[in-house]
Chain A
Amino acid sequence: MSISSLLNTSRDSLQSYQLALDLTGANIANANTPGYSRQRAVFNSLGTVDVRAVNVQIGVKVTNVERIYDEYLDNQVNDQSQKMGYGEAKSDVLNRIEGIFAENGGGASDQMNKFWNAWSGLSANPNGQVERENLLAAAENMTSAFRRLDGDLTKVVQDAGDNILNIVSQVNDYLSQVADLNRQITSIADDRGETNLLKDNRTDVLNKISNIIDMQYFEDDNGSVNIFLADGRPLITGESVLKLAGKSNLSNVVDDIVYQDNPGVSLQKTISQGKNGKLAALLEIGNVTIPGYRDKLDAIANNLIAEVNAQHKQGYDIHGNAGGDFFDPTTGVKNFHVSAAVTSDANKIAASATVDGDGDNARSIDAIKDKFVMSGGTATIDDYYSSLIGQIGRDVAGAKSSLDQQTSIMQQLINRRESTSGVSLDEELMDIMKYQMAYNAAGKMVNTVNELMETIIHLGE
């Protein structure tokens, strides 16, 4: 072992500590970068030499830059992120629906009450023009309140569809990014930390994809991440991407997702049945939730049409003609209208049970409100509507509380990930001190070697 090798040793230490300080600097710089995993220099002794039968360690080298990262934790975060994506999107849309069904005066329930009351008022003065016009206005307000509910729900479905399109193009974008990162990562064969940043980026993108769509992934031997849908259909294999596309139904609303190059196969069930990811929520809203609400609105409108029309036809109008349809007989809440004949002439309202003009038929129609005509004869129309309101309220409250719960789980998981991979400034500052002292010491070593050299050079003088 020579003095000059002491210099080499010192040089190695200076370089290693500088690299360690570089990494510390990078950690501090990225303390707030989402998805960043802190990096640590892994020091290794360069080996030993025998000096006069004594085994001496010589030199140090940073052999590897370690990315502190817990894959199991990251999977959990992604899983939770899928649940959050679903919960957030669902809660968003349900809040909007809740606003649509708000019953703070002027809602459909209010208008129904006014409708029944107008019949009762007409029964007390069956030939009164004011009462007839009043009933007509109440009936038109009620039908338009129900049509507004239907129209607003349709708007929500359309918006959900538009949202699906945006999100699908986002997913495609993210998928391309992952494929790209896969390519870059696999092309760097010898992993000594060069791929750390790329992997961090990929983790971040995977995280974003998880939030959007129900998927699974694994890293293969090459370092590529392969992504699959919940039922095992591929999205990414190595560097090849199968892009998705939104698909419209007959009424031009996007309610399904397909592969871009295989538009015949519906992926709607696959994506939505696990209730994971934003897309699942949006697909569910358009395909299950809102059609469910609309079915109930349809049932209410259809029963009102059937019951009121049937009773109305039993009566006689102000001129002694038999009553016709009070509501337009076309079923479905979107077609819920007062019949054109009645709208154009309030005298066509059949308030009387005889050709002479009592108010008994109006009373009979008013009495429909207390008849059990819904749910197979177990609920009145008003009960049925209140129970729909109750159902929406429970859906909203349920979505909100499960979102709250998921948010707090997410918070914990993120904290745990932070705890493992996050940058602690205190720790980094301690590292700076540690590496600085070591660097100074290595510098001192060079000085010492220098002095030793001088001593040797001047030995012969």
Chain B
Amino acid sequence: MVMRITESMRFNNIVSSLGNAQSQYNSILEKMGSQKRINRISDDPLGMTRLLDFRQVQASIDQCQRNIDDNNGWLAMTESKLTSAGELLTKARELAIGQGTATASAETRRITAENVEQLKQQMLSLANSQYGDRYLFSGSRMDAAPFSAASQSANTDTPTSASSNNFDGTVAESGIYTAGVNKTYVVKIITGGILTDASYKVSSDGGKTWGAEQNDLDTGTINLPDGISLTFTDSGANHLTAGDLFSVHAYAEGYYKGNNDNLMLDIGKDAAIHYNITGEEAFAGRNGGADIFKTLDDLKSALVNNDQDAILVQLENLNIASEQINFATSKVGTVVNRIELAKSNLQDFSLQLTDLTSQTEDADMAELATSMAMRQSALQASYSMASKIGSNTILDFIK
């Protein structure tokens, strides 16, 4: 028997096929409007997941590029200050060579000594240069000028008790600092209580790494490495408490107040570059180099004292100092090159990512236009079907 077809079946069918045609047409319109293949998560869940990954990588590339751009100023300034320092040293060498000969007189040497003093002042202002409010050559101690005009003997700052500490007694420093470089010592209280109960750890690198836990605070005195010690007096209302921090900056003899910490910049995933030059390596020359300020001061005294031999000794030191500055300058050049390379890699990567993102996300307009034409004709067919549906009935033939 043939299937009975009723009027409401015809209407139901036409309504649902109109609905289908409309919704497919609409989805194409949405894609054409946004030019995107994925407009909501369910359009392509896997593609969306990949998109999010791409976006994350893209965001961190963008950030690295921003880091690099912001850092360019720092590097350019470091390079120009070091170049100027090199020029000052060349001038000092010319003066020393001129006054190191037998033809120079006590008079010319005294006048030259004034010139050297001026060179030193210029050098000091170079070494204390700031980029924004950060000192270029102070390591990680960016809050204070790294060089002083006169040499200071080995010393320490008054110990600082962190403002979040509970302990309200006093802490004092004693002893003579014997190490050759500046360090920041930190004492962290591990177990609190009265002095006999308390235990602590000591860090020699500003709190990055810690020694073993110690329990010998009975006398209140901690012997730090390199000749200095801290003495606690539990005179306040609160005893030492776990987590209390005490730090002391120790300075070796000389002009330098900064430290030798590396400053690192993220230039890519798992890639960071050490971008600063510390005063210790460029100016203080504490690892077998020449202390530029000492050299200039010594040269000045030699000139004042009209001591030809001493002048020649300082000339030798000036040569070493020049090499030291040149080496630092070339180090900056290397950093600049590496960063440039990293930047161009990031740009390449970013282009590839844009490409991948576009492949995943963007709609193929040609394909869309074609399927839109198809859907349109399907929709038109549905419409014309709908318009004819009522016109075929037996009523037309019954008189």
A387 at the B interface (CB under 8 A): yes
Partner of A101, one of B41, B141, B265: B41
Interface residue range, chain B: 35 or more
B269 surroundings in chain A (CB, below 8 A): 370
Partner pick for B67 among A120, A321, A354, CB 8 A cutoff: A120
List 6 additional contacts besides A320-B162, A393-B48, A394-B45; criterion CB under 8 Å.
A98-B41, A102-B41, A114-B59, A357-B142, A393-B40, A393-B45
CA of A407 to CA of B53 in the docked complex: distance in angstroms? 35
How close is B64's CB to chain A, nearest CB, in angstroms? 7
The answer to whether residues A427 and B4 also contact, given A321-B245, A357-B140, A363-B266 and a CB cut-off of 8 A, is yes
Residue of A nearest to B160 (CB): A320
B395 contacts chain A at the CB level, 8 A cutoff: yes
Q: How far is the CA of A385 from the CA of B51 in the complex (A)?
A: 12
Known A120-B63, A393-B42; contact A366-B5, beta-carbon cutoff 8 A? no
Known: A121-B63, A123-B266. A400 touches B42 (CB 8 A): yes
Q: How far is the CB of A122 from chain B (nearest CB, A)?
A: 10
Which residues on B sit within 8 Å (CB–CB) of A427? 4
Q: Write out the residue numbers on chain A whose beta carbons fall within 8 Å of the beta carbon of B67.
A: 120-121, 124
A422 to B9, CA, bound (A): 8
The yes or no answer to A204 lying at the interface (CB within 8 A) is no
Could you list some 11 contacts between A and B, CB below 8 A? A121-B67, A123-B264, A125-B134, A352-B140, A382-B53, A386-B49, A389-B52, A407-B16, A424-B4, A424-B7, A426-B394
Closest to A397 in B: B42
The secondary-structure label for the interface of chain B is mixed
User: In the bound complex, what is the Cα–Cα distance between A386 and B47 (angstroms)?
Assistant: 10
> B208 within 8 Å of A by Cβ?
yes
B12 and A382 contacting across the interface, CB-CB below 8 Å: no
Give B268 Cβ to nearest chain A Cβ, in Å. 11
Partner of A319, one of B55, B163, B266: B163
CB neighbours of A429 from chain B (8 A): 393-395, 398
**Interface check B56, CB cutoff 8 A:** yes
Chain B residues within CB distance 8 Å of chain A: 3-9, 12-13, 16, 40-46, 48-49, 51-53, 55-56, 59-60, 62-64, 66-67, 70-71, 132-134, 139-143, 160, 162-164, 184, 186, 188, 205-208, 243, 245, 247, 259, 261-266, 269-270, 272, 393-395, 398
- Asked if B59 and A113 make an inter-chain contact with CB atoms under 8 angstroms apart, the answer reads yes
Which residues of B are found within 8 Å of A390, using beta-carbon distances?
41, 45-46, 48-49
- Contact between A125 and B162 (Cβ–Cβ < 8 Å)? no
Set B40, B70, B184: member contacting A124, Cβ < 8 A: B70
Residues from chain B with a CB closer than 8 A to the CB of A327 are none
CA distance A356 to B8 in the complex (A): 83
Question: 8 tightest A-B contacts by CB?
Answer: A354-B206, A393-B45, A393-B41, A113-B59, A396-B42, A422-B6, A117-B63, A358-B140
Q: Are A98 and B5 in contact (CB under 8 A)?
A: no
- In the complex, what's the smallest C-beta–C-beta distance from A230 to chain B, in angstroms? 29
Q: Would A418 and B164 count as touching, CB distance under 8 A?
A: no
A354 to B43 CA separation, bound complex (whole angstroms): 49
Closest to B206 in A: A354
Interface of A is mostly: helix
Contact, CB under 8 Å: B206 / A418: no
A103, closest chain B residue (CB): B52
Neighbouring B residues of A357 by C-beta, 8 Å: 140-143
Partner of B206, one of A121, A355, A433: A355
Contact, CB under 8 Å: A321 / B12 = no
Beta-carbon contact of B60 and A419 below 8 Å: no
Would A356 and B393 be within 8 Å (CB), given that A322-B162, A415-B12, A422-B9 are in contact? no
Q: A120-B63, A120-B64 are in contact. Are A127 and B143 (CB under 8 A)?
A: yes
CB 8 Å contact bits of A310-335 with B (1 = contact, 0 = none): 00000010011110100000000000
Complex partner residue of A363 from B8, B261, B264, CB under 8 angstroms = B264
Q: When each residue 423-439 of chain A gets 1 if its CB lies under 8 Å from chain B and 0 otherwise, what string results?
A: 11111011001000000
From residue A451, how far is it (CB to closest CB) to chain B in Å?
A: 30
Residues of A close to B46: CB separation below 8 A: 390
| Chain A CB within 10 A, most for which of B56, B70, B184 | B56
**A359 on interface, CB distance cutoff 8 Å:** yes
A256 at interface by CB-CB < 8 Å: no
Contact A124–B266 (Cβ < 8 Å): yes
* Distance between Cα atoms of A394 and B70 in the complex (Å): 42
Q: Establish whether residues B394 and A430, one from each chain, have CB atoms under 8 Å apart when the complex forms.
A: yes
Q: B residues within 8 A CB of A420?
A: 4
- A117→B60 contact, CB < 8 A: yes
B56 pairs with A382, CB closer than 8 A: yes
Contact B48 A32 (CB under 8 A): no
A70 interface residue (CB < 8 Å to B): no
Contact B42 A31 (CB under 8 A): no
A387 contacts which chain B residues (CB < 8 A)? Answer: 49
- Say whether, besides A101-B41, A124-B71, A320-B160, A359 and B264 are in contact (CB < 8 Å): yes
Q: Is A109 an interface residue (CB 8 A)?
A: yes
